[in-house]
Amino acid sequence: MNREVSFRTNLFESKEIKPHFINERCFGEDLANWIIDKLRESEFSFSEPYQEDWGWEIDAKKDEERFFVQIGIMDESIGEENAEWMISIEKPKSWFSFGKQNPFNFEKLCREIDEILTREPRITEIS
């Protein structure tokens, strides 16, 4: 199960490569923290963001179900003021057959992320 959303904004760092980046395209740490902050009242619990070679990831959990919120900048917009970003929400395949499952949790997480994006006026071109 996977859902993706892309958008443009100047809210998050897209130019300065931080010393702790594992490669030159690992932007999105501030976006990951923004998502966690905006969803702090959510029914989901969130891990600290952790770095992947393509960007950042957050584990989201609810009712013993685990989801990955994957965050990255689109390569061609690195360095742009109004960069294009991608968020992908994924339920790991290994979690389909184990543990308690609620088919509405995935949709709820996707909806909550969509809502925080659409409420922010500096986020545009959401698709």
Domains of the chain: 2-124 (3.30.310)
In contact, 47 and 35? CB cutoff 8 Å: no
Angle at 88 between CA 126 and CA 72, to 5 degrees: 80
pLDDT of res. 2: 84
How many alpha carbons fall within 13 Å on the CB side of residue 10? 4
pLDDT in tens, 22-76: 999 999 999 999 999 999 999 999 999 999 999 999 999 998 899 999 999 999 9
Quote the CA–CA distance of 20 and 74 in Å, as a whole number.
19
Range 91-101 average pLDDT: 64
Residue 107 DSSP SS3: helix
Whether the full predicted model's pTM is greater than 0.85, yes or no, is yes
pLDDT of res. 1: 72
pLDDT of res. 99: 57
Quote the CA–CA distance of 45 and 67 in Å, as a whole number.
10
94 compared with 51, residue with greater pLDDT: 51
